[in-house]
Structure 1
Amino acid sequence: MTDPHILLTGQSLALAMPRQDMLPEYHRWENDARTILGYGNQWAQSWEVRAAGYERQRGNERFQQFEVVRLEDNTAVGMTILEVNTYVRTAEFVIVLAPEARGKGYAAEASRLTLDWAFHLAALRMVWLKVLEPNRAGIAAYEKAGFRPAGRLRQSGFWLGQPVDELLMDALPENFPVPSAVTATLGT
C-alpha cells in the first residue's frame, strides 16, 4: 500500500488524500454491521458498487473525501466526507471509522480536523450532519468537535430494526473550538 499523503495534522490524527489502494479497507469499514447500524442502513454495499462510486467521486469538487490517519503509525483509521453545496457554501458531513478504531476518541478529533479544513481552507459557511438519536457516542463526539443541535427528522432512520429520529446538527465557523490546526500550520 502507498504511504498516506498528509494534508492537515492534528494532535494524534491527520487528514490525508484518499488512496485507491485502500479502497478494499474503506469497503470493509463501510460494510461493518455497526457502521450500517449507525447510518440507519439495512444492507451492505457490493464491491462493484463501491468501486464504481469511488471512480465517480474522484475529482468531484462537491464530494471532498479525507482519509483519517493515526500519526503514531501512519495507519488509516477512517474517512470523513464533505458533500459540498457550492451554491450556498455549506456541506453535509459524514464519517466512518474502522471497526477496530472505534471508542478511542478518534471521531471527535477527525470531525474537528474536517471542520477546520471546511472553515479555514474551503471557506464554507456551515457544515451539518444527521445522526441517529440512539447514537449517544456519536452525538457526544460531534458536540466536542463543535457541532450543535439544529433539529430533528422524526422517525426517519432505523436503529436495530426500529424507526428512530435523526438529529440534525450543524457547526458554524464561530462554533469551531480553537486552536485551529490550519492557522497553526500557517503561523497566523
Structure 2
Amino acid sequence: MTDIITFFSHLGIDEKELDQFLKFLKLKTFKSGETILQNGQTDHYLSFLKSGIIRYFVNNDGKELTFDFIFPNSFFCHYDTFYSRKPTQFNSEALTDVEMYSIHVDDLTSLFQTCNYAKDLSRIAVEKLLEKKVKRELSLLTQSPKERYLNLLKEQPKLLQNIPQKYLATYLGIVPETLSRIRKRIS
C-alpha cells in the first residue's frame, strides 16, 4: 500500500491520518480482458489503481468506442453511478492485469461520520477524476489527433505500448489507419 500512502502524502495527508481509511481498503485483481463493470450495473467502489491499465468504453451501433484509460496511481470508479447510485451507462475492462485498492461506498460513508479527513480524501478523489475529465474534453476540442497522441505518448510512454491500436484510435477520435500514419510520421 506504499503507493497509495505516497500519493496522499504528496497531497499533504500523512500516514497516521490515513490509518482508518487504509483499514477499509481491499486489494482487487482483474485479469487482462476481464470486464470490471458493465453498462447497467452499479459501481459500489471507489478505487485507486495500483498497477495495470483500465479502459472505459461504450457500445455504439455495434462498435466499441474507447473514451478513457486509467493508468496506475489514478482513481477509478464509474463516476456516473458511484455518486448517483443509478446504473452506469458505460463499460470498463482490464486491458492488462490490474491491481487496485477499493473502498466500498458504505465504508466511505461511515468514515465521513468518524474521520475529519475522510471528506478530504473523497474530495481529492473527485477533484482528480474531474480534472482528468476536463483535460480530456479540452484536448478533444483544441488539439489535433496527432497532438493528443503525442501528449499521451509523453505522459505514459511505456504503458501506451500495452494498448491495442484499435482502442487507442477510437480514444483519439480516429480510425486505426490514421493512427498508423501518425505513428509513421513521428518515428
* Bigger share in strand: 1
**TM-score, L = length of structure 1:** 0.25
Higher helix residue share: 2
Higher RCO (CA-CA < 8 Å; seq separation 6+): 2
Larger of the two Rg values belongs to structure? 2
- Tell me the TM-score normalised to structure 2 length: 0.25
